Amino acid sequence: MKTVSLISILFMTLIACTAYAQSPISAKPSEFAQSKEWNKVGPRLQALWLSALKENFSSQEKVRCFVRVRAPYSRGDKSFLISSGFSVQLFSGTIARGRMNIKDLPNVASLPFVESIKLATK
């Protein structure tokens, strides 16, 4: 009986996660700067986003970033980051280091477990 209950809970969680991953983030990229997720983004990354928006995201160059997630970190968090466009290179504690295309910033920032996103320095 415990196995059936556990399987049904896992199945319902999988359905909820799939529905969340397929939901649209924002109708227009210009609306991101007025969203609550914008506050998760560091000032240097905000400036880069606004610059890319003016250029209609013409550059496909990936930016190096640090993403702080809510503790405790799980493998599911990493999977959601990857599916949102963030290429995870390293996870240490609650900090993920990686790269993403600047146009994917709203997708990553909208994840509920993401607390902040900062541009990495060279």
Per-domain residue ranges of the chain: 28-119
Task: Flag whether the pTM goes above 0.85.
Answer: no
Ramachandran sector of residue 31 (left: φ over 0; alpha: ψ -120 to 50; beta: rest): alpha
In the numeric block, which tokens belong to residue 68? Answer: 């702080």
Please provide the distance, in angstroms rounded to a whole number, between the alpha carbons at the two ends of the chain.
Answer: 54
Residue in the structure block whose two tokens are 């496909």: 60
- How many CA atoms within 13 Å lie on the side-chain side of 25? 24
Residue-by-residue pLDDT tens, the chain, 122 positions: 666 554 554 444 444 444 444 444 444 777 999 999 999 999 999 999 999 999 999 988 899 999 999 988 888 899 999 999 999 999 888 999 999 999 999 999 999 999 999 999 86
- The neighbour count for residue 35, using CB atoms within 10 Å, is 14
**b/e sequence 43-62, b meaning 16+ C-beta within 10 Å:** eebbebbeebeeeeeeeeee
Q: Which CATH class is domain 28-119?
A: alpha beta
